[in-house]
Structure 1
Amino acid sequence: MKRKRRKITAFAAVFLMAAAMIPSMAFAADTPQDTVWEVSKSKTATNLNEDYESDITLSLPAAEEQLESDVVFVLDKSTSADVQQDAVDMLKSLQEQIEKTQAKVNVGVVVFNKEAHNVLELTELTAENLEKIEDAIYYNISSGTNTHAGLIAGKEMLDGDTDVDPDRKYLIFVSDGITYMYNEEPTAILLQNGDKTNMFAGPDNWATKYGSSNPPEDWETWLTEIGDQINADGDTYEVPYKTYAENDPYIPYDERSEHAMSVDKALYLTYEEYQSIKAEGYNCYAMKAEGNADHPWATSFMEHLADGESVSFDSIENDIYYLLDAGSCVVDEIGHTDDYDFDFVNDASRLTIKVGEDIYTSNDVTAESDLEEGETARYTFTYDGAIAENGAEAPFVLHYYQNGVTKEGKDYGECFVWDINVPVSNFAPVQLTYTVKLMNPKTEAGTYGEYDADGIGGSDGLYTNNQAVLYPVSTDGSEGEAEYFAKPAVSYTVSAQDPDDPQQPGGGEAAGGNGNGGGSNPLTGDNANIALMAVIMAAAAGGAIACVRKLHSGR
């Protein structure tokens, strides 16, 4: 009896040990797949061919990215002629840069006084449409400043184009900041003046309430306090702008510090609307229409909206046109685990770089004396008229390290470092294509891996690379955080062989057939281990059941 119990205990132990091993196997291939990034990029792989090779393409921006952008100007009626001309000059320059590409830029114009006017709905930026766009930017109106209404209209215009991605939408807000009404239908709050002879809504409300035209010491603290006052008052003191009556509500002069007057609420709602536009993922720029010494609070408010940064149309144009600046680089570590091993195909003829439709020439730096320590090979990529902007030897350079390298304080195995020495345009994608080869294909018949061309299907195994990392430099020269590309995966099929007709395992089937990797992949990597554990568990469970039956039968 004791012997039978010991058998049951042994079977149970085997079962539990096998069960405990499964989670670690199932998650052994975890990678930084869920990393959030800002720079548009993609990585794709062809499925393995009969030579067990796959062509990999890195794209900046992403290969599937629509090369279309929306730019909406939200212009104060008081925008100076100089600022208007700068905006027109930016658009002319942008139009010249994109006319030879497949890109499309749409421009819309909102001009606001006491209300917002959609002077120009989104219109494609072409040489033929430039005059129409220029006329819209120079549109002239007067009477009042309602920044809140202008931003509402600008956001609605961008929201209305659902074919363009949020990160390709740009709102350029130009104002002197002297606002004192709000809402799409102009609304105001009347404040009693200092001698208590009348009530009014206007920019001088600021000095009436605060005793001077100076801005607050801290805008964020001010916004919090005004938000509380707005919530407490609700619409108690609101009236339609310019239609005042004797019995209209107003804020008494002696209570002015306890309530949000017209300028307060207009600035607060302008700030809130601007932040909501940014929250949509749109690119936002706040520019001063002109300095105004009479109302320094207004100038200071526009500076606060811009986060204290000086914004120019040149910098905006760079943001619209360029994805990355020179000095960016990519580190791509070739796929390798205990179960499979890919090698980088170290051959200039198998390397291609395209910028838009232009194919760059690859050159092999073969002299060992020209290579850096640890560098196995180096390839430069050149094109007529393209010059590296950071003093490098070529616009693009690929450094191959067969034995790995340390980059940005991180150790990589077999990899290459792709230096990007020219700005990358949003409208002319840069694509690097290279080849990897599976060095240890299986010989037993079956399907191995699961094909995932772009790395977004969640395939688990046969990754062509361990990781590919972008180290970006933005158009203002600042270095961004490291960002990870998705990880494509491949598959292949080994056919059962006729013992009387031996040939290379898999023959023509090794390419993975139709690229779907088959319906199951029980023969390799983690999946094979999990299957083995399942068999062990089943055997253990069966043995335990048999022992229990014998125990109860008395045998």
Structure 2
Amino acid sequence: MRTTAQRLWLSLFLVFALCLGFIPPKVVLAQPASVTVTDPKATVDKTASELTKNPQTNDLETKVSLTFSGTTEDVPSDVVFVLDKSGAADVLDEALAFLDELKQQADTKGVKVRVGVVLFNRVGNIRLPLTDISTGYDEIKAAMQSSVHMGTNMHAGLLAGQQMLDEDTSIPNNHKHMVLISDGATYLYSKNNDYTTSYTRSFGDPKAQTNPATGNPFLNGSDKKGGIWEYQSREYNLNEAIKFSAASGNVTLLETYLNQKRLHDAEYEQYEYEYNASSAYLGIGRKTTPIEENAVANIDAAWIHAIDTFDKIAEKYRTYVFFKNVADFDGSTLLKYMTRNTGGLSQNFVQLERALSHSLSDGSFVTDVVGDDFDFVHDFSRVTVKVGDKELTGEKISDNKYGFGKRADGTYRYELTYSEADKTLKLDIHETITADKPATLSFYEKLKDPPVTPGTYTYDTNKSATLTVINSGGNSLGRYNFPKPQVTYVAVAQGTVTARYVDENGAEIADSVTTTGNVDSPYTTQQKDIDGYTFKEMAHDSAAANGTYIDGTLTVTYVYHKKPTPNKPDQPNKPNQPENPKKPSQPSPSKGRGVIPGMGDVGAAAATGAVALGGGLLILDLRRKLRNSHK
């Protein structure tokens, strides 16, 4: 059986414990969290700062930062250059400059690239098989600068380049690239994937053919011998519905024109023949195609074969097409049509460079789902995106969308969208991110419901965070999870101190001041200057003006004495003024009456009094003398 003393101590303990439960906690320590994850395709890092109180809102907040960058891919890449024999000098110079940069990256950053070179004239010529740029740089440049002659067969060049890429089975297709540099003026083609043999068709001498409509020879054109574009012989002598000269200048019209020729190509294949020195210069093996509206000229067949082969290559590999007009024929429309599904003609080698050396590029994105115990601080001024050491300028696009790094064309390098429904942030990336300049997204989260019971608490700042990697070739390289940093803090009991300011009767004469702090931490209070009062003393039951917080509430009471109010003297009544005072008349001087000049009657009265006083004194003096004489 417990004694009375035991029950008393137990009751005091329970009361103390119960009081602790009602004292709000305060964060005294929060551990920042940071974990870095490195993958061959990307590096991701996430940190969460210690929880601190926002002085404007009193919310407990943590700053969350997600940092990510691409890495140089370990998987090597193949690049095959398919070059028109004409050289396209300016573009070739750009290609050589690109190779110089690629060689430097191979030496300094470990970029692994093998380069092959194909030149085409009437056939495809493999000038250099796939060669490591680190060890075969000089051979690559020499092959790029070589030349061939006689004829133009783009189809053969594409077939040779395709074969080179197909035969390398050591790397995936999304790491294979073909670069075509041409003026588009092709008129020869190959068959059965044999790029070492070329074919043509010729209308011969138009004047040697009879026009069925007139029964007379055709009047216009000359024998091209199948060694140049042959469409003129047909176009100059017939009234065609769609002329090649018109179609070759308009991509849409070209598609219609070539589709019509495809319908009749098989029936005119009988007139094709191998193009070589014997047929070109000696006429051996030549055939003549009849001049008819549906006839398929050599340039028609060459373009159809080049387009079909390029489409197959583009389905498997990354392609880049450069146009340079160095001939008297503009074949840019052919090249534009060929690249209709691959983004159009290339203007520089930047895209290829990125595809070869960077894994994290345009199309990649970050998603972050805020933790259950936190809310996103939806304040645009507190959201930042940095690339390297430079913070990008941001602007609000809409209530839930921000843009960072606005370009001249109005697009943004990064766009952040927040979905309040599922507490998800998504950062869309519209540029390549390199390892030497990682990107960092930073924002704030606030703790939703701080606990009321003292203790140690640990929270996940997010439910999940992922980086979806798209390389600069447009290929998905997978999803990579950021770590889940936690924040930990210790909540302890707090004490309260209230400073009161009262008069001698205990009535408050100024607003009280209340502060809170951790138990055993110091507090201070201040004596106030209060109008009409002077400080007298501390109340007998007051806590110390300065001290330490306790587990409970302390009251510091300052007592003031009211200053006495001085009596003010009565103000004399102001005499009434007559309503219409009359100005006294000036008396005229009387005879025998003295008047002091300038004083009027007042002066005369004064003079009379003086005479009477003098006379009285004289009589008194005479009486005194008489008394003395009788003694």
TM superposition score normalised by structure 2: 0.47
**2:378 alignment partner, SS class:** coil
Contact 1:43–1:485 under 8 Å retained in 2: no
Q: Tell me what 1:268 maps to.
A: 304
- 1:113-512 alignment runs, 5 A limit: 113-126=121-134, 128-183=135-190, 184=195, 185-196=197-208, 200-211=225-236, 214-216=245-247, 217=250, 218-233=253-268, 235-242=269-276, 243-244=278-279, 248-253=286-291, 255=292, 257-280=293-316, 282-292=317-327, 294-296=328-330, 298-307=331-340, 308-325=344-361, 329-333=365-369, 373=378, 386-388=388-390, 390-391=392-393, 408=417, 410-411=419-420, 413-415=422-424, 423-425=432-434, 468=466, 470=468
Q: Deviations over 1:209-261 (max 9, x none)?
A: 3347724042221232222222343x3112111343577442112x2x22212
- In structure 2, relative to structure 1, the CA distance for the partners of 1:178 and 1:221 (3 Å cut) is same
Task: Please give the alpha-carbon distance, in whole angstroms, between the structure 2 residues aligned to 1:82 and 1:376.
Answer: 48
What is the alpha-carbon distance in structure 1 between the residues aligned to residue 75 and residue 356 of structure 2?
A: 11
Q: Say if 2:360 and 2:469, in contact at 8 Å, map to a contact too.
A: no
CA distance in 1, matches of 2:372, 2:170: 40
CA, structure 1 residues 325+471, in 2 after alignment: closer, same or farther (shift >3 Å)? closer
- Contact 1:109–1:121 (CA<8 Å) still a contact in 2? yes
Distance 1:117 1:60, change over 3 A: farther
Q: Which runs of 5+ in 2 are unaligned?
A: 1-39, 46-65, 210-222, 237-242, 396-401, 403-414, 441-461, 484-631
Q: 1:422 to 1:227 in 2, by over 3 A?
A: closer
User: How far apart, CA to CA, are the structure 2 residues paired with 1:207 and 1:123?
Assistant: 43
Residue 283 of structure 1 and its aligned partner are, at CA, apart by: 1.1
Give the letter for the 2:142 counterpart: D
Which structure dedicates a bigger proportion of its chain to strand? Answer: 2
Q: Spell out, residue by residue over 1:393-415, the C-alpha distance to the aligned partner (whole angstroms, 9 max, x if none).
A: 9xxxxx9xxxxxx9647556355
Q: How far is 1:321 from its partner? A: 3.4
Greater length-normalized contact order (CA 8 Å, ≥ 6 residues apart) = 1
Q: What SS does the corresponding residue of 2:245 show, helix, strand or coil?
A: coil
2:322 touches 2:345 (CA, 8 Å); kept in 1? no
- CA drift at 1:419: 7.5
TM-score, with structure 1 as normaliser: 0.53
Quote the residue 2:117 is aligned against. Answer: 109
- Aligned equivalents of 1:261, 1:240: Cα separation in 2: 14
Q: Distance in 2 between matches of 1:75 and 1:286?
A: 10
Match of 1:503 in 2: none
Match of residue 569 from structure 2: none
2:585 corresponding residue in structure 1: none
* Cα distance in 1 for residues equivalent to 2:325 and 2:100: 23
**Residue 266 (structure 1) shift:** 0.9
1:73–1:108 contact (8 Å) kept in structure 2? yes
SS of equivalent residue, structure 1 residue 316: helix
- In structure 2, the CA distance between the partners of 1:472 and 1:248, relative to structure 1 (3 Å rule), is closer
In 2, Cα distance between the equivalents of 1:287 and 1:487? 36
Superposed CA offset, 1:72-129 (max 9, x none): 1000110133222211101111222343223301111001111111111111112x53
**1:192 Cα deviation (Å)?**
3.0
Q: What's the Cα RMSD here?
A: 4.7
Which amino acid in the other structure matches residue 139 of structure 2?
K
Q: 8 Å contact 1:329–1:471 — kept in the other structure?
A: yes
Residue 98 of structure 2 corresponds to which residue in structure 1?
90
Q: Is the 8 A contact 2:181 2:321 kept in 1?
A: yes
The change in CA–CA distance for 1:377 and 1:157 in structure 2 (over 3 A counts) is same
Distance 1:329 1:103, change over 3 A: same
Q: Deviations over 1:57-80 (max 9, x none)?
A: 9987699x6432111100011013
Q: Which amino acid aligns with 1:125?
A: I
Deviations 1:322-370 (A, max 9, x none): 4455796411337xxxxxxx879x9xxxxxxxxxxxxxxxxxxxxx9xx
Which of these two proteins has the greater Rg computed from alpha carbons? 2
**In 1: Cα distance, 2:174 partner to 2:367 partner:** 25
Conservation of the 8 A alpha-carbon contact between 2:386 and 2:439? no
Per the alignment, residue 523 of structure 1 pairs with: none
SS of match in other structure, 1:94: helix
Measured in 2, the distance between the counterparts of 1:487 and 1:130 equals 36
Q: How many angstroms apart in 1 are the aligned matches of 2:427 and 2:156?
A: 47
Query: What is the Cα deviation at residue 291 of structure 1?
Result: 4.7
Cα pair 1:73 1:173 within 8 Å, conserved: yes
1:178 Cα deviation from its structure 2 partner: 1.6
CA distance in 2, matches of 1:485, 1:68: 18
- For these two proteins, the number of residue pairs brought into alignment is 352
Inter-partner Cα distance in structure 1 for 2:103 and 2:391: 23
Alignment of 1:67 onto 2:78 = no
SS of residue in 2 equivalent to 1:84: helix
Structure 1 residues 373 and 333, CA gap change in structure 2 (3 angstroms): closer
Structure 2 CA distance for aligned equivalents of residues 250 and 326 of structure 1? 53
1:267 is paired with a residue whose SS is: helix
CA 220–131 in structure 1, closer or farther in 2 if over 3 Å, else same: same
Provide closer, same or farther for how the CA distance between residues 286 and 420 of structure 1 changes in structure 2, counting only shifts above 3 A. closer
Report if the CA contact (8 A) 1:331-1:417 is conserved. Answer: yes
Task: Indicate conservation of the 8 Å contact 2:115/2:131, yes or no.
Answer: yes
- Asked if structure 2 preserves the Cα contact closer than 8 Å seen for 1:199 and 1:250, the reply is no
The whole-number CA distance in structure 1 between the counterparts of 2:180 and 2:67 is 35
Percent of matched pairs sharing the same residue: 24
